[in-house]
Amino acid sequence: MINFLIFGPPGSGKGTQSVKLASEFSLIHLSTGDMLREEVAGQTGLGRKVEGIMQRGELVPDDVVIEMIAERLDANPGAGGFIFDGFPRTVDQARALDETLADKNTSICKMLMLEVEHEELVRRLILRAEVSGRPDDKNLDIIENRIKVYKEKTEPVISYYRKDNKYQTVNGMGDIDEIFHRLCEVIRACI
């Protein structure tokens, strides 16, 4: 089993690139954002609990996402590997993921960090707001809050993986296919 994290601020292209990488390398794509949006759309108990938090661009509680990821890992025992998108977002989530993977005799191979300029993040999310209907893309204040929350709560996860030499930056500016090729090169070097 070979596992990767795709990492970066909101709008850096994690979701876009994860779908392509999952297909290219036969990995299972696990996006906590997508899972949570499904819960909200279905108006489940969990969905109602997290809806307001997501609309404000804040993080949902660690235990919620840790449990969701553990369930998906258990549900795919024969998987060749996973690409984690939007998880972990806190150091406690990173520790929990390591423990869960260790129980399955596996680990994270690389954290792929998409580096994108602030103005480009905002440009992409404002553009997506026109079509996505995502409430957290709705206005500039929420977009800026998501980026602020990323810097305060999620960036510390970089140090967690850097100490194990698992942190790898990738230029996330430019054309989608060009960025995809840069990511593929890093992954091919691992497998």
Q: What CA–CA distance (Å, rounded) separates 70 from 63?
A: 10
Q: What is the largest CA-CA distance in the chain?
A: 44
Write out the two tokens for 47: 């969905």
Q: CB 117 → ligand AP5: shortest distance, Å? A: 12
Residue 8 binds to ligand AP5 (criterion: CB under 6 A):
yes
Residue 96 binds to ligand AP5 (criterion: CB under 6 A):
no
Binding mask 147-166 for ligand AP5 (x = CB under 6 A): --------------------
Residue 75: how many CB atoms within 10 A of its CB?
9
Q: What CA–CA distance (Å, rounded) separates 125 from 137?
A: 6
Write out the two tokens for 29: 């794509």
Instruction: Indicate which single residue of 10, 97, 112, 113 sits in contact with ligand AP5 (rule: CB under 6 A).
Output: 10
Residue 95 binds to ligand AP5 (criterion: CB under 6 A):
no
Is-contact 24 18, C-beta < 8 A? no
Residue closer to ligand AP5 by CB (options 16, 168) is: 16
Size of the site for ligand AP5 (CB under 6 A): 28
Residue closer to ligand AP5 by CB (options 78, 128) is: 128
Q: How far is CA 102 from CA 33, 56, 86, in A?
A: 24, 34, 20
Residue closer to ligand AP5 by CB (options 22, 36) is: 36
Applying CB under 6 A, the span of 7-15, 41-49, 71-79, 105-113 interacting with ligand AP5 comes to 7-15
Applying CB under 6 A, the span of 39-47, 81-89, 105-113, 157-165 interacting with ligand AP5 comes to 81-89
Residue closer to ligand AP5 by CB (options 140, 176) is: 176
Residue 164: how many CB atoms within 10 A of its CB?
11
Is-contact 89 155, C-beta < 8 A? no
Write out the two tokens for 21: 């990488």
- Residues of this chain that bind ligand AP5 (CB under 6 A): 8, 10-16, 32-33, 36, 53-54, 57-60, 65, 86-87, 89, 93, 124, 128, 136, 146, 176, 179
